[in-house]
Structure 1
Amino acid sequence: MPPERKPKYAPQQPPLFMASPRSLIQDTKRLIEQSRKVQDEVVRSVQLKTATFANTLLPLAQNENRVALESHTITFYQAVSPDAALRDASREAKKLFSEFGIETAMREDLFVLIDAVLRDSQDETLDIESQLLLEKEHKKYLSNGLGIPAGPEREAFKKIKKRLSELSTEFQKNLNEENLGIWLEPQELEGVPGDVVERLEKGQDDGPNKDKLRLMFQYPDYFPTMSHARNSETRRKVFLGYENKCNQNVPLFEETIILRDKAARLLGYPDHATFRLEDKMIKSPHTVNSFLEDLRSRLAVRGCEEIDKLKQLKKADMGVEKYDGHYYLWDHRFYHRMMLEQQFSVDQQKISEYFPLNTTVQAMLEAFGRLFGLVFSDFDLKDRIHIAAGDRSGHIWHEDVQLFSVWDDKADGGEFVGYLYLDLYPRQGKFSHAANFNVQPSLSDADGNRRYPATVLVCNFSRPTSTKPSLLKHDELVMLFHELGHGIHDHVSKTAYSRFHGTMTVQDFCEAPSQMLENWCWMPLQLQCLSRHYLTDENISEDMIQNLIRSKNVNSGLFYLRQLHVSIFDMMIHQPESHDAIEKINSSELYNSLWEGITQLEGPKIQGEHRYEWGHGEVTFFHLMGGYDAGYYGYLISKVFALDIFYEVFKRDPMNPKEGRRYRHMILEKGGSQPEMRTLVDFLGRQPRTEAFYKDLGLTEARSI
């Protein structure tokens, strides 16, 4: 269907990405100084007895909005810029913003005014978002040490906060800049898809790696190799290389969890988990731990049964004489893939041929456009906006980037919504996982003028070759839907304050909207509409779709046990018995022993006291350093909410535009501007339930969270 005609000009041009390292730092310092002046003016002009939301909180919030329109872009460079100097400057800018945030949150002169406003807030009529802002702002000051009496302990707390910011920045830099790989003989890559092998770096004829191929530890190389390499020793070497690709992060991680625990105790909490959960939907560590342990106990038997079946497959594959009775961590992707192919006729390589990246993206945007009342248009400066340059220079940061303008459809008024960027291929120095980044929030400025959002989907799919486009396996399709879910959430959110915009909800809810959209990847009609073979233009066959759907819960016990592994590890390191216990922790041994113990998949056989210290996987991803601390369980809890919404509202008619728009206005538009449980209850018309989650897993008995 042809796109609807849109207004000729958008009311706002897209962000510019024309900064230099120097300008990033200059702009950061300017914004910090601007903010400091606003804070000083509030303190100067407001008396304790006359403090109100309007004269105290509102000027601070309006300044925060103005700063966000620039600061999000400034700190985004570190994730995607091809210029190492720009990435470094962006990290330095983030550090400066963080240090200023600590300084702000420890200003007692501001806190006493905000405390007075909170105590007298019943005398003001505040909307729900403003009341929430007041409460969270007050809590921010307490959480940053102003509940600690002035003196040595408060100063110690301030130093901890500053050091934690430095550790996070260095940790992320190490991940982004990671460039390790492993040199392998061509025969060691037997079974790996040819298009993967073809793009690997070849050793120089006059060097030590002559005739060898260099496999990188990035997703497009790593996952196909682990799924297809026939040589078990190859898979073992690649697995261990991946688990040890960023070992310099281990001391940073362990220092972080020690400092977090110390900070929580200074604030009067027994541990960091209790401190972090206080503001979540699930507020009690006991409730989280009970949920995780209950799910673990109910999945344990299934996991063992799944391993038994996979062992039989491995035995048949290797032959009785070679089979050693073990099923290793590096076996799982390989034999899971083989099981799907042999027992369910699911060949991910063949399936991927029906999902070339660019055509799939267009089909996804059209589908969700119809559902939510949006139109995504390839960005054309001449048609869409007045820009003197008359070209795309400055509006993208790399030639790979695609830019779309987003509009309401005709039925919803045809108004401009915002800008969507797609940065989908890996490159050196780029953020190495998949994520959505907001570079400009949507909000109303102090004069009532609307500012429109700009958001970026950052992924790392395989690059096209001279003979093939980038092709998406089904799990990559699910990932793309997930990240697009964040992007749509970011676009349609309408909040007064930038801190509540889009995905800025409490952590154990923010994944729910994206996880909800993953269900479309398992619906027959949606899969057909999304698919188009890269050579023949044919849609995927009904037989292939039905085989794929039948395979949905194959080895799902092991999948969720792996999720539980990380979630339980996260809770354990942030809920130690004592501070002395966390100071003595070996995070890698704990991480790996839990991985083996919870999933029952075997790691390398190392003898001695440190038999689990064969890798350092806890530092190969950013979540536990970057905001998901004592919050990784949120992926599982959010899944409960996501499936409850889907089964209740969308399963019967996934493309119902009436329900899609109701979901857009009642869930996505709200962002974090009201308590998330209220958002859920308003939409569902009842309290959320666990039945759909357990039903989807094939566990019929539901228990409350």
Structure 2
Amino acid sequence: MAFDAPPQAAPQWNLSPEEIITKTKEIIEKTRSLEDKVAALENPTFENAIAIMAQNDQSGERIASVLVFYQNVSISKEHRDASAESDRLLSEFSVESSMREDVFKKVHQVYELKPQLEPESTRLLEKTDLDYRRAGLGLNKEDQEKLKSLKVRLSNLSIQFSQRLGEDTGGVFLTKEQLVGLPDDVLNNLATKEEDGKTLYKVTFKYTDIIPAMSYCKLEETRKCLFTGNYSKVPENVNVLHEAIIIRRDIAKLLGYKTWADFVLEEKMAKNTTTVINLLDDLRDALTPTGTKEMARLLKFKKEDVKNGNAKDGDVLYVWDYQYYDRLLLESEYQVDQQLIAEYFPMGRTVVGMLRVFETIFSLKFIEITDSSRSIANNFLFGDQTLRIFLGGCILIFFREMENTNTPQTLIWGPDILIGTAIECTHVLRLFVTSPNRKLFSEAVNNLISTPEKPSLLKHQEVVTLFHETGHAIHDIVSVTKYGRFHGLEVPHDFIEAPSQMLENWCWNKKVLQELSHHYERGEPLKEELIDKLVASKNVDIGLSTLRQIFYGMFDMKIHNLSGDEVADTTKLYNTLRQQISLVENGNVSTPGEASFGHMMGGYDAGYYGYLYSQRISADMFYTKFKADPMNTIVGTEYRDKILVPGGSREIIDNLKSFLGREPNDTAFREDLGISQMTEGTCEGKTEAIEILD
């Protein structure tokens, strides 16, 4: 099957540190020059002002996305440092650009003319005018300068926070005896050192080490040690977050908003803090009884550990206990052995199987391209199966481990086609998806390295993550918009997760699991009995896991909903809320967990609730349209065309009503969580009573 050829050349990954800075400055100067020209226009129009700046932003992002990406993946510190400096320069210029009053006057002049445009261009004009007003161009000169200074400082703090977290190489050295229970394939991949005649194993705070360690290490003292270390890393970030909270509050006040949350939520689907707080409180109230029952089940296992000397207090579930006893519950009562199930999901074959599922659902066609000159595992082009047109390309890359970088889970790039050699980075599967004049999208799924004897095997939860993250890529690749401003993932953050959350359901479908699974040695699929047990375990501890998400969302709202001159003691708030909402005890251990809560400095400030908000939407879409027949191509194509294709070019609520045939509701969400109704107000005052001031 042939598709139209990709319309543009690919970026190359051979820049020197000096070239990264040079190209950064070229982007800035080109954009500044264009804005000067727009500001000098005597007769600004949509075409010679708004449209031309949108096109420039798109082409600039194409290059900039490559430049700032090096800091996340390059094995060269010089490249990472140059990339971070590029990020800083671009961020500072973005602030400068957003506050050009001379340009705003021309934009607003066009806006006031109300030109007759097609809908997406009208939306671009409206959003561009709103952007400048939200940037503070309605303020007096003195306040504008103050606002600009605050924004630059906030931008630099965000980079500093992420860079510290990304460069962290911390870990804990433990003996093999202390790590009893840890699977051999994990243990054998740990770095070692000799000390006092003993071999010590370094458990780093990377996902590939810390998650299995917390899930399998039998000794409570070991888990406590690892938890404390992991949630105490980069303590310097506490002060960074603290300053960012104050700056955000001050920015909101300058712009006329009561709180930073009010400012942020204005452009989200939730619209206001009342909606968010009600959602979190109502969910908390509905799920606390469920979580309490689940806690009692887990404590039965801990009491047995007290008898055999692996734990001390059988009446309390500590925060470092949850993952371990959750796994024991799955293995004991559901006979779900994640290590065994992983043998049926070798990474390479699972990825291809997943793409085949997406082919059917979305009427796409993936074509594998082999090219020995590229250091990649798989390379695909894909397009519309019915129209036989090229939509884009994706590259699946298996990277080597890099000791001094923790790669973020998700990265989104600017418009381009990515074909070329890979940069080495941490041991992850990285998926690059590209399409003409669209976003270039990158996703990471942490996993162990394949060996000649044994391929990299995915636990079922990692398969779920793979579907979720690739779902973001599919969202971006099939979108068709006129402007990059609205393409694919350029949607409100409290909707952005919904399409990917919905695709997680396919990983719990019996037929899909039968076709997707393939034992790495014997070639057989998962046995029906094992699939039934796995599917039955889908909502195990759903109460506790959702309460943990509520805790994160409530912490976020607390620190960003301050209206006075008060200053949050973020560490105290973090630990207190976790114990009160998540139900697990801190054990008199206070850790600065907020220092590694990357979402708070990575674009999810006053937005973490969005995971739960979008989950309501994803459940509604799946139960209403897909549950009866998940592989129905007609429904899948309708979903693609009505939800994914428009991106943010229309109001999301309009897209949802078109697809569902009605207003969205939370009936399916409640059913999925096992709660019949959401009560109102019974948690009111519980979190408000916490002392959060210095």
**TM-score normalised over the length of structure 1:** 0.90
Alignment correspondent of 1:522? 508
> How far has the Cα of 1:667 moved from its partner?
1.2
> How far has the Cα of 1:54 moved from its partner?
2.2
Between 406-415 and 535-544, the greater mean CA deviation after superposition: 406-415
Summarize the alignment of residues 47-62 of structure 1 with structure 2, pairs less than 5 Å apart.
47=42, 50-62=43-55
Alignment correspondent of 1:604? 587
Between 168-177 and 208-217, the greater mean CA deviation after superposition: 208-217
Deviations 1:589-613 (A, max 9, x none): 101110011011011325xxxxxxx
Alignment correspondent of 1:327? 317
Alignment correspondent of 2:92? 99
Figure out how many residues of one structure are paired with residues of the other and give that number: 662
Indicate whether 1:159 and 2:145 are aligned: no
Indicate whether 1:306 and 2:294 are aligned: yes
Indicate whether 1:14 and 2:6 are aligned: no
Secondary structure in structure 2 of the residue aligned to 1:415: strand
**Contact 2:17–2:79 (CA<8 Å) still a contact in 1?**
yes
What is the one-letter code of the residue matched to 1:133?
L
Deviations 1:255-300 (A, max 9, x none): 1111100111111111100000001111010111011101011111
Deviations 1:441-467 (A, max 9, x none): 58xxxxxx9535532222221222453
Summarize the alignment of residues 432-451 of structure 1 with structure 2, pairs less than 5 Å apart.
432-440=407-415, 451=437
Deviations 1:618-656 (A, max 9, x none): 222321111110000000011011111111111111111
C-alpha spacing 1:403/1:257, structure 2 compared with 1 (3 Å): farther
**Contact 2:176–2:201 (CA<8 Å) still a contact in 1?**
yes
Q: What are the ranges of 5 or more consecutive residues in structure 2 without an aligned counterpart?
A: 418-434, 682-694
Secondary structure in structure 2 of the residue aligned to 1:212: strand
Q: What are the ranges of 5 or more consecutive residues in structure 1 without an aligned counterpart?
A: 383-390, 393-398, 443-448, 607-613
Alignment correspondent of 2:432? none
Partner residue of 1:641 out of 597, 617, 626: 617
**Contact 2:478–2:640 (CA<8 Å) still a contact in 1?**
yes
The CA RMSD measured in Å over matched residues stands at 2.1
> How far has the Cα of 1:371 moved from its partner?
1.6
Alignment correspondent of 1:699? 675
**Contact 1:303–1:555 (CA<8 Å) still a contact in 2?**
yes
For residues 315 and 641 of structure 1, the distance between their equivalents in structure 2, rounded to whole angstroms, comes to 40
Between 207-216 and 597-606, the greater mean CA deviation after superposition: 207-216
For residues 40 and 197 of structure 2, the distance between their equivalents in structure 1, rounded to whole angstroms, comes to 68
Alignment correspondent of 2:464? 478
> How far has the Cα of 1:197 moved from its partner?
0.7
What is the one-letter code of the residue matched to 2:637?
R
Indicate whether 1:263 and 2:251 are aligned: yes
Alignment correspondent of 2:276? 288
Alignment correspondent of 1:192? 182
For residues 647 and 599 of structure 1, the distance between their equivalents in structure 2, rounded to whole angstroms, comes to 28
> How far has the Cα of 1:329 moved from its partner?
0.7
C-alpha spacing 1:351/1:422, structure 2 compared with 1 (3 Å): same
C-alpha spacing 1:327/1:452, structure 2 compared with 1 (3 Å): closer
Secondary structure in structure 2 of the residue aligned to 1:529: helix
Partner residue of 1:181 out of 171, 175, 182: 171
Secondary structure in structure 1 of the residue aligned to 2:468: helix
Secondary structure in structure 2 of the residue aligned to 1:505: coil
**Contact 2:643–2:656 (CA<8 Å) still a contact in 1?**
yes
Alignment correspondent of 2:426? none
C-alpha spacing 1:320/1:348, structure 2 compared with 1 (3 Å): closer
Alignment correspondent of 2:387? 412
Summarize the alignment of residues 106-121 of structure 1 with structure 2, pairs less than 5 Å apart.
106-121=99-114
Alignment correspondent of 1:348? 338
Between 133-142 and 296-305, the greater mean CA deviation after superposition: 133-142
Partner residue of 2:162 out of 160, 164, 172: 172
Summarize the alignment of residues 24-423 of structure 1 with structure 2, pairs less than 5 Å apart.
24-45=20-41, 47=42, 50-121=43-114, 124-151=115-142, 153-204=143-194, 207=195, 210-319=198-307, 323-381=313-371, 391-392=373-374, 399=375, 401-422=376-397
Indicate whether 1:657 and 2:633 are aligned: yes
For residues 244 and 116 of structure 2, the distance between their equivalents in structure 1, rounded to whole angstroms, comes to 42
For residues 44 and 486 of structure 2, the distance between their equivalents in structure 1, rounded to whole angstroms, comes to 24
What is the one-letter code of the residue matched to 1:457?
E
What is the one-letter code of the residue matched to 2:574?
Y
> How far has the Cα of 1:119 moved from its partner?
2.1
Alignment correspondent of 1:629? 605
For residues 406 and 398 of structure 2, the distance between their equivalents in structure 1, rounded to whole angstroms, comes to 10
For residues 220 and 22 of structure 2, the distance between their equivalents in structure 1, rounded to whole angstroms, comes to 53
Alignment correspondent of 1:616? 592
**Contact 2:448–2:456 (CA<8 Å) still a contact in 1?**
yes
> How far has the Cα of 1:147 moved from its partner?
2.0
C-alpha spacing 1:566/1:423, structure 2 compared with 1 (3 Å): farther
Secondary structure in structure 1 of the residue aligned to 2:601: coil
Alignment correspondent of 2:685? none
For residues 661 and 430 of structure 1, the distance between their equivalents in structure 2, rounded to whole angstroms, comes to 40
**Contact 1:689–1:704 (CA<8 Å) still a contact in 2?**
no
C-alpha spacing 1:148/1:590, structure 2 compared with 1 (3 Å): same
Alignment correspondent of 1:511? 497
C-alpha spacing 1:178/1:440, structure 2 compared with 1 (3 Å): same
C-alpha spacing 1:419/1:346, structure 2 compared with 1 (3 Å): closer
Summarize the alignment of residues 489-504 of structure 1 with structure 2, pairs less than 5 Å apart.
489-504=475-490
> How far has the Cα of 1:143 moved from its partner?
2.1
For residues 144 and 25 of structure 2, the distance between their equivalents in structure 1, rounded to whole angstroms, comes to 26
> How far has the Cα of 1:440 moved from its partner?
2.5
Summarize the alignment of residues 520-559 of structure 1 with structure 2, pairs less than 5 Å apart.
520-559=506-545
**Contact 2:174–2:203 (CA<8 Å) still a contact in 1?**
yes
What is the one-letter code of the residue matched to 2:494?
D
Secondary structure in structure 1 of the residue aligned to 2:394: strand
- Identity value in percent: 39
